[in-house]
Amino acid sequence: MLEKKKVKERIVYLDGRFVPESQATISIFDTAFHNAYMVHEAIRTFNGKLFKLEQHTARLFRSLRCARIDAAMGPSEMKKISLEVLEANQHLLGENDDYWIYQHVSAGVVPQFRYEDRTYKDSTVIIYCWMLPFKAYARYYEVGAHAITPWVRRISPQCVDPKIKTCSRMDLNLGTREAKLIDPDGYCLLLDEQTNVAEGDGYNFFIVSKGVLRTPSLRNVLGGISRETVMELAKEMKICVEETDIQTYDVCNADEAFFTATSYCILPVTKFNGIQIGQGKPGLLTKRLLEAWSNKVGINIVKQALSHLEEK
């Protein structure tokens, strides 16, 4: 049980203990550090309240099952601890701030360094919070981000199922670095081995063509909770959605485009590999979906983010 007291440093849950962030350390032989053998979830708050904790935690345990990692606790306890971590750090939120809450589970210490027993056991569970970086993306709500397809391809689902949300993200990290080298406003958008659009570094992708929302099928992408939310909103708004293969040609000729992610929810995209998308500004349907999401969570998502650009 977490002791009820306020501290100036964020509190982290680490393997059964609540500790200050500066004391949250793991073994250098943990699989998380040694070979990125870890699955995770990131859940954001709106006005300090977690959004879709149930869905994120359920996906975490689906990933754990496929990754053959035993968290040594069930979904109910994982959710309970996540809420306790949030409560312990609420007092550190400033005006218009919100958190990510991260759930990380590794397979524990690498077997070859367990000289007495070379098997995976004693998973490492870490739950912590991180302030949403509104300043990093706020202006793109107004001008749109730029999508860049790097040379690296998304790891094939024939190798690792993308529906497992793993911390092993070399392809995505390389893609992000290349996109930023090409364009400071660039966000990577990886293609698969058949040159179909896949996903970005922690975000899904949508285009709008003649009033129809189109997004890559789950064959080659992680089924994002934000992606799912957009599809729910579209259904309520009677907007047609297609899950299908999308080629670069389709993106170049789209009327609108946007990314979806836990942090920014929906982020307009106005350029693709240097080619203007639609009118070169956030589209009408994109704005309607953002407004609907804001109404759903009781906060103006765009206004909240933009307020951080006004800080001195």
pLDDT of 111 higher than 90: no
Q: For residue range 78-110, list pLDDT tens digits in order.
A: 999 999 999 999 999 999 999 999 999 999 988
**What's residue 121's pLDDT?**
64
Q: For residue range 152-162, list pLDDT tens digits in order.
A: 999 888 888 89
**What's residue 17's pLDDT?**
96
Mean pLDDT of the chain: 93
Q: Is there a common fold for 11-132 and 137-307? A: no
Question: Are the beta carbons of 88 and 2 closer than 8 angstroms?
Answer: yes
pLDDT of 31 higher than 60: yes
Q: For residue range 69-81, list pLDDT tens digits in order.
A: 999 999 999 999 9
Instruction: Report the pLDDT averaged over residues 251-272.
Output: 98
Instruction: Report the pLDDT averaged over residues 45-62.
Output: 97
Question: Are the beta carbons of 290 and 244 closer than 8 angstroms?
Answer: no
pLDDT band at 5 (very low <50, low <70, confident <90, very high): low
Give me the amino acid identity at 96.
N
User: Where exactly are the structural domains of the chain?
Assistant: 11-132, 137-307
Domain 11-132 sits in CATH at 3.30.470.10
Domain 137-307 has CATH 3.20.10.10: yes
The three-state DSSP-derived secondary structure of 76-117 is HHHHHHHHHHHHHHHHHCCCCCCEEEEEEEECCECHHHCCCC
